Amino acid sequence: MRILRSLALVALVATPLAAQKRAMTFEDFSAIRGVSDPQLSPDGRQVLYAVRTTDIAANKRTTVTYMVPVSGGAPSRFPSGAVAASEARWSPDGRHVAYVAGGQLWVAEADGGSARQLSQLNGGASGPVWAPTSDRVAFVSGAWPDCTTDACNVTKDSVKSASKVKAHVSDELMYRHWNAWDEGTRSHLFTVAIAGGAPRDITQGARYDVPPGPFGGSEGYSWSNDGRALAYTAKDQGRADAWTTDLNVYTVSADGGAAQVITASNKGADQNPVYSPDGRWIFYASQRRAGFESDRWRLMAYDRTSGRSRELLPAWDRNADAYSVTRTGDAIYVQGVDAGRTKFYRVAFDAKTGVAMAPKLVVGERNNAGLSLSADGSSAVWARDAIDAPGEVWLATLTNGMVSTQRALTHENDALVAQLDLHPAEDYWFTGASGARLQGFVVKPPNFDPSRKTPVVLLIHGGPQGEWLDNWGGRWSFQMYASTGVAVVAINPRGSIGYGQKLVDEVSKDWGGKAYKDLMMGLDTALARNKWMDRNATAAAGGSYGGYMVNWIAGHTKRFKALITHAGVFNLETMYGATEEIWFPEWEYGGPYWKNAQMEQQYRKWSPHLFAGNFTTPQLVIHGELDYRIPYSEGLSLFTALQKQNVPSRLLVFPDEGHWILKPQNAQLWWKEVQGWLGKYLFPKPLT
């Protein structure tokens, strides 16, 4: 910490007095108000949005809901200052708002008055979705499949909690997922009338989750236009759940009963159904290739009359990550990633023929998510952020479906950001392996001085099918890295989303090959174009697949002064046997390690542990014990290899965290260790 303090003091002395902004600290990072989930009222006059705040001392984060008028004025807590509400959703008629508070479902009038609790279930409630008739709400709650009453759920949970035996017994995969063991309960789909009455479990008896875990939310189910049925996403493959990606879309009566699968012919994943306003079509996202979780998400339309599906945008080589249909049904707004930014596109749709026109870019600057439209389609809100700008709610006027004016509606972080020296992302393009045209970001440090040589950290994203976006980053913050006085180089190599599916595919079965070359060539380009960067003081850091790549780098180059690996794969064979989503290594490595061809061509070729004898670069190793995606034994094995060879190394393990470090005080320690490691090896002597 002494090194970091000296760096900060030097930066202040070396900077002209006119520039009073300062480097961001962890306390600043934690003080940022996380703005998300904007919801525009049907009449376009009010916006509900969520704000997450962090209390380091209490070691917790809290989400509350605010309402702000579009015409201007200060936001106010919804439904009142004493309630921590989340997932707030307007009724289609605009008269009520459903929300979650205290783990249960509530409803209030549009102004926040007359709040009433709608659920009191043992498994809690989340994900409210209104029926088009504004009289009922769908949501999900945890339940035991064998139970037909909530009293049964209470009894089963009580018996389980009272038992002093906490052993896990399993007869099949998948016995644990993400960061939790399978304890027998499932997430079921419920409906409840806002006039009162007991919630109804409409997937009663189902031994699958609605929506599938671990990240599915209310986008996984929707009401039909007449309120008589619902469509939902589920995975019902029995013991094959661990090695198949075959999610399906189901329909079920709003009164419950037998569900019907409408996507059984496709063995890839199908998810997130949305009914058209006329009720004829169900739009959904679909992956064609079975077993590949990063195949292109195609926008599909299921014709309820003929029972057949069609792809709406076969020539569009981007993912339909999210989508919403206008009330008139003549257009679909699609959210997708393109070259490091999340953008919105408008797709004109003919409801009679089912024909869609080519997407037109609506919003493309910076990073955008969560589009919400007014009933008449004349206005929209969404959340926007960037590497140098925390999220805020933005408002646009739409003319003929396209943005005519736009502005920031909220200013939750303006005062704090005004104090910080934050540099925006600077895009650059370069030629990677095999002539691929690829993109990266450069972020300068606070108090940047082009006359002084600046150390560099190369950040490597996870996935491997993922991307660095021009977004604020609630965990891997470019600005927090830069605050140590280093320049950040963040590259989207092949495997990254946003270039088209061909480049996405090219990382599979080639983990340490062309993607590694892309990263090295991209870093070389950044160093050549920015003479102020110190090519003799570079570090590399990454998590998940990014951690794998750091481990691969450790055995294949000595160009870096320091390495940081978080939740990184070290031994491909042990990774296959211990991870929970078996479809991932089966696709990425071509099959299990006991197949001779796969062993020779993948496991024995691309596993970092086989090159551990080349390790010399100081390495910080970080892992969470509750990480079931990449079990923490991978980090332990790596640290052992480093220590046995006397390579400077440090192990940081969090017993109460999974793949991500989420608790505030744990995150504080994470950044202290990461920044300290960079300071120790990139700044061996305080600057004078």
* pLDDT tens-digit map of 257-316: 999 999 999 999 999 999 999 999 999 999 999 999 999 999 999 999 999 999 999 999
Q: What is the mean pLDDT of residues 660-685?
A: 95
Confidence of residue 12 (pLDDT cuts 50, 70, 90): very low
- Per-residue three-class SS string for 598-635: HHHHHHHHHCHHHHHHHCCCCEEEEEECCCCCCCCHHH
Sorted by sequence, the CB contacts under 8 Å of residue 353 that are 6+ apart come out as none
Q: What is the mean pLDDT of residues 183-202?
A: 97
What per-residue confidence (pLDDT) applies to 562? 98
Residue 606 pLDDT exceeds 60: yes
Model-wide pTM > 0.85: yes
- Assess if residue 369 is contained within a domain: no
What per-residue confidence (pLDDT) applies to 685? 67
Q: Work out whether strand 360-363 and strand 116-117 pair parallel, antiparallel, or are unpaired.
A: unpaired
Q: What is the mean pLDDT of residues 181-204?
A: 97
- Per-residue three-class SS string for 255-300: CCCCCEECCCCCCCCEEEEEECCCCCEEEEEECCCCCCCCCCCEEE
Residue 1 pLDDT exceeds 70: no
Sorted by sequence, the CB contacts under 8 Å of residue 582 that are 6+ apart come out as 173, 174, 242, 243, 576
- Look up the CATH number of the domain holding residue 496: 3.40.50.1820
Confidence of residue 11 (pLDDT cuts 50, 70, 90): very low
Euclidean distance between the first and the last CA atom of the chain, given in angstroms as a whole number: 17
pLDDT above 90 coverage of the chain, percent: 96
Distance CA 298, CA 66 (A): 34
Average pLDDT score, the chain: 96
Residue 15 pLDDT exceeds 90: no
The answer to whether the CB of 293 falls within 8 A of the CB of 587 is yes
The answer to whether the CB of 141 falls within 8 A of the CB of 128 is no
Q: What is the mean pLDDT of residues 541-555?
A: 98
Phi first, then psi, for residue 617 (nearest 5°) are: -80, 130
| 653 vs 4, more confident | 653
Nearest to 522 by CA among 428, 426, 423: 428
What per-residue confidence (pLDDT) applies to 354? 96
Q: Is 586 helix (H, G, I), strand (E, B) or coil?
A: helix
Nearest to 190 by CA among 200, 182, 180: 200
What per-residue confidence (pLDDT) applies to 97? 98
Nearest to 467 by CA among 629, 340, 296, 334: 340
Nearest to 248 by CA among 257, 235, 239: 235
| pLDDT tens by residue, 422-464 | 999 999 999 999 999 999 999 999 999 999 999 999 999 999 9
- Assess if residue 582 is contained within a domain: no
Instruction: Give residue 478's domain range.
Output: 421-569+618-633+644-682
Total domains present in the chain: 1
Distance CA 675, CA 678 (A): 5
Neighbour count for residue 238 (Cβ, 10 Å): 10
pLDDT above 70 coverage of the chain, percent: 97
Distance CA 583, CA 634 (A): 19
Confidence of residue 8 (pLDDT cuts 50, 70, 90): very low
- Assess if residue 583 is contained within a domain: no
Sorted by sequence, the CB contacts under 8 Å of residue 224 that are 6+ apart come out as 132, 230, 231, 251, 254, 275, 279
Q: Is 137 helix (H, G, I), strand (E, B) or coil?
A: strand
- Assess if residue 39 is contained within a domain: no
| Cα 592 versus chain centre, distance | 28
Distance CA 438, CA 522 (A): 8
What per-residue confidence (pLDDT) applies to 72? 87
Confidence of residue 125 (pLDDT cuts 50, 70, 90): very high
What per-residue confidence (pLDDT) applies to 538? 98
- Assess if residue 501 is contained within a domain: yes
| pLDDT tens by residue, 481-503 | 999 999 999 999 999 999 999 99
- Assess if residue 547 is contained within a domain: yes
